[in-house]
Structure 1
Amino acid sequence: MIKIKLFFHKLIHWEYWPYQVVYLPVYFQYLYYAFRTKSFFFFNASNPTIKNGGFFMESKKEIYDLIPTDYYPKTILIHPNETLNSILEKINIANIIFPLIAKPDIGLRGTAVKKLYNTEELQDYLKKAKFEVLLQELIPFENEIGLFYVKLPNQPGKITGIVSKEFMILKGNGKNTLRELIHQNKRYLIQLKALEEEYKDKLNAVLKIGETINLVPYGNHCRGTKFVDASHEITAEMIESFNRICNQIDGFHFGRMDIMYKSYEDLAKGKNFQIVEINGAISEPTHMYDPKHSIWFGWKELTRHFHYMYLISKNNHKNGAKYLTFKEGVQEFKNHHKHYDTILEF
């Protein structure tokens, strides 16, 4: 019965539809732009300093290295087979303390992102990880948004959308278990299998009245976060601040910045925030996933931003940025799928 309810819930909420359906108009748009640029991999030139423009196989650490250190949390890169003592020494030198965030350097829609509370949990995580890992200090701000930034040719940059993120937060009533509270929210219930793996018997706990728990402290839609369109928060002051910030990130022209911040007022002034990560050519205008928006709105936003990427890529190519050759692009796709399988084994 629950499966049937969730099936119909997903059916009438397009945010859960398969990406092959959601991206249907973009496929035709892509083929047209590939014909115009004479390259199936024109998007490589959208962000020339980011591998493949940020479409696939880009290293988060290499992107962090482009960003002034004041704008992102302390981060270290861990290679497979490093000893625990070596890793703990790196953590100590970087002055990162537990709890911390562990995530793949080359990510996959939030897969294998975990909050680790102690050395034992870190050791367990690294035993399972067959990929390069980033260890990152917790960001001290509670609010999270995705801010889409576009710098079109011969124009100042602009913010084309903001998505705010509502985390999976349960509030106790002193009676129901976590599991029972999850069953009261279809968005949360969709995540039950993953939550059972994460929390196990802890789901049988009962929160006190008013006590809260954030089940998934990462603002990722496929992990249960609700996306809400907050584009009305864009101001001239915010645009000016992010033009100043993004002009310090060499080669960044197109993408979504995931940001944690104190308040919109401070964010507009360019203070009291940190960049969780920057997504390049693969970025979605995630404000479109607000449940209040129709699929028609989603298609409009997807095609609008894909057009921006085409214009930027074409201009950057004219100024010397390379497109991948067909052979190079195919090899990168193979590398991507190989890495995809490795991440899913986690």
Structure 2
Amino acid sequence: MKKTKLLFHKIKHWEYWPYQIVYLPVYFQYLYYAVKAKSFFFFNASNPSIKNGGFFMESKKEIYDLIPQEYYPKTFLFKVNTPFKEIREILKKNELKYPLIGKPDIGLRGTAVKKINSEIELLDYSTRANFDFLIQGLIPFHNEIGLFYVRLPNEEKGIITGIVQKEFMIINGDGKKTIKEHLEKDPRYLFQIEALEKEYKEKLNTVLNAEESINLVPYGNHCRGTKFIDASHQITPKLVDRFNLICEKIEGFHFGRMDIMFNTYEELENGENFKIVEINGAISEPTHIYDPQHSLLYGWKELTRHFKYMYEISIHNKKKGAKYLTFKEGVKEFKKHHEYYDTILKF
């Protein structure tokens, strides 16, 4: 019965549809632009300082290194099979305390991102990780947005094209129902039951008191149950000015979504009490489209609008000396991407 209910929920809500359908008009748009640019890999020039423009196989650590340190949390890269003693010593030396966040250096829609609460969990994560990974300090702010920033290379200032507010999977207790029973009331959370049972095990059978709450997935990823709400009405001239100042300091960044944790919008406008969780480049989605209030037609309109921005930026950067991948290089990178995809899903 639950499976049937979830199937109908998926059919009624396009945010859960396969990306092959959601991106249908973009495929035709891409082919048109590829012909005009005379390259299947023109997107590589959208962000010249980021590998492949940030479309695939880009290192999060290399992107962090482009950002001024004060804008992101302490972050350390560990190669696969790094001895645990070395990991522990580096984190201790740099005064990182639990809880921490572990994530793959080359990300894949939130796969293998995990909150690490203890040394035992850190040992487990580092042992299981069959990929290079980052350990990052937990950001203390409770609000998270995805802010999409675009700046044409021939223009001094950029624009914010959309903001998505992220509503985490927070369960508020009532002293009666278990965490799992609360989850089963919401189809969005019900999709995540299997993954949550694997992570939390018997803890899902806990009954929370009326004053208790728990954030089961403390990072804003749609694939992990986070609800996306369009907050583009929060875009103000002051906020745009602030992010123009920030992005001026990030070399070669013209197109992408910045995931940001912050305290209040007012403080964010003033450049206070916020951290950049990460920056996504050419592969970025304008994720405000996944607000359940939006139609598929709206989603298509926004996707094609942003893809046009990426094409125009790539063309401008090509004229300024940025290079496209050759067809042979692009195919090689795609093969690497698919091999990595198979690897990380085994985590």
Gaps of 5+ in 2: none
Q: CA RMSD in A?
A: 0.6
SS at match of 2:36: helix
SS at match of 1:305: helix
Matching of residue 129 in structure 1 with residue 106 in structure 2: no
Do 1:153 and 1:311's aligned partners in 2 also have CA atoms closer than 8 Å? no
Tell me the matched-pair count.
346
SS at match of 1:152: coil
Distance 1:34 1:72 in 2: 35
The one-letter amino acid of 2:250's match is I
The aligned counterpart of 1:260 is 261
CA displacement, residues 103-156 of structure 1 (integer Å, 9 cap, x when unaligned)? 000010000000111111111111111100100001010000000000024221
Distance apart, 1:41 and its partner CA: 0.3
Do 1:131 and 1:343's aligned partners in 2 also have CA atoms closer than 8 Å? yes
Tell me the TM-score normalized by structure 1: 0.99
CA displacement, residues 172-210 of structure 1 (integer Å, 9 cap, x when unaligned)? 110111111111111101111111101111111100013
Where in structure 1 do 4 or more consecutive aligned residues deviate above 3 Å? none
Distance apart, 1:93 and its partner CA: 2.3
Matching of residue 223 in structure 1 with residue 224 in structure 2: yes
Do 2:145 and 2:165's aligned partners in 1 also have CA atoms closer than 8 Å? yes
Matching of residue 99 in structure 1 with residue 108 in structure 2: no
Do 1:178 and 1:204's aligned partners in 2 also have CA atoms closer than 8 Å? yes
Tell me the TM-score normalized by structure 2: 0.99
The one-letter amino acid of 1:117's match is N
CA displacement, residues 143-170 of structure 1 (integer Å, 9 cap, x when unaligned)? 0000000002422100000000000111
SS at match of 1:106: coil
Distance 1:95 1:21 in 2: 46
The aligned counterpart of 2:109 is 109
Mapping of residues 262-281 of structure 1, within 5 Å:
262-281=263-282
The aligned counterpart of 2:252 is 251
The aligned counterpart of 2:243 is 242
The aligned counterpart of 2:49 is 49
Mapping of residues 154-303 of structure 1, within 5 Å:
154-155=154-155, 156-303=157-304
The one-letter amino acid of 2:43's match is F
The one-letter amino acid of 1:170's match is I
Distance 2:90 2:153 in 1: 41
The one-letter amino acid of 2:310's match is M
Do 1:167 and 1:219's aligned partners in 2 also have CA atoms closer than 8 Å? yes
Gaps of 5+ in 1: none
Distance 2:126 2:273 in 1: 32
SS at match of 1:227: strand
The aligned counterpart of 1:335 is 336
Distance apart, 1:96 and its partner CA: 1.1
Distance apart, 1:226 and its partner CA: 0.2
SS at match of 1:144: strand
The aligned counterpart of 2:68 is 68
- Residue identity (%): 68
The one-letter amino acid of 1:330's match is V
